[in-house]
Amino acid sequence: MPQAARKLNTVRAAALVSGDGDMLQAILDSLYFKELPHFELVAVISPQKDAYAMARALNAGVPAYVVDPELFPTMTSHSMAVANKLRDMDIDLVILAGYDLPLGVIPYQFKNRIIGTYPALYPAYEDESGDIQRVVLERGLKVTGATAYFADGDGRVGGIILQQAVPILPDDDPDSLRRRVTVDAEWKLLSQAVALFCAGRLSIHGKRVVIAPEKKEE
């Protein structure tokens, strides 16, 4: 099938997903409510054919593709296959919507064009490999939050785009806190960061992301 013609001034995006796809749903909801002007979600790519995220994409009319890591000898070669598919589709922006595999070579080929979220106020707990919200509660913190970022060359948190605080309630457990961090902060930040990118309002100066003021219509 020939590739669809690029819409004028439209950012062509692809979401990398794994598992449930609740982060993907945040983008799909923003699309439905027309909160992402100049944005087109061209594809959803997953390593798992039975991931519920794929069903979410197809139900929304977004093409979904599987790049199965078991078909490749190494994770590096798998990431090269994903990068090649992104390039073949002429993707401008890659969205990490709950993707749980190493990005490998993808950040080198899409420098400053990969946006993801982190479930804390980065750099808090950047070396924590376990349940961040459980650790937050064990430490007795009064506030946590989430971060939207550009992925760096290693696929980790690079330039910080947006952050949002989430208060910790006296009766919070790890599940309730995780849910509020996801719904009240990560979902919103991901859509907001994508909208800023599509509006051309993000620029990177060294390690800092600068957000330009919104242009007023004359």
| pLDDT in 10s for each residue of the chain, 218 residues | 334 444 558 999 999 999 899 999 999 999 999 999 999 999 999 999 999 999 999 999 999 999 999 999 999 999 999 999 999 999 999 999 999 999 999 999 999 999 999 999 999 998 887 899 999 999 999 999 999 999 999 999 999 999 999 999 999 999 999 999 999 999 999 999 999 999 999 999 988 999 999 877 55
- What are the backbone angles phi and psi of residue 157, rounded to the nearest 5°? -65, 120
**H helix or E strand, kind and range, residue 164:** strand 157-167
Tell me whether residue 132 is exposed, middle or buried, using C-beta atoms within 10 angstroms of its C-beta: 0 to 12, 13 to 18, 19 or more.
buried
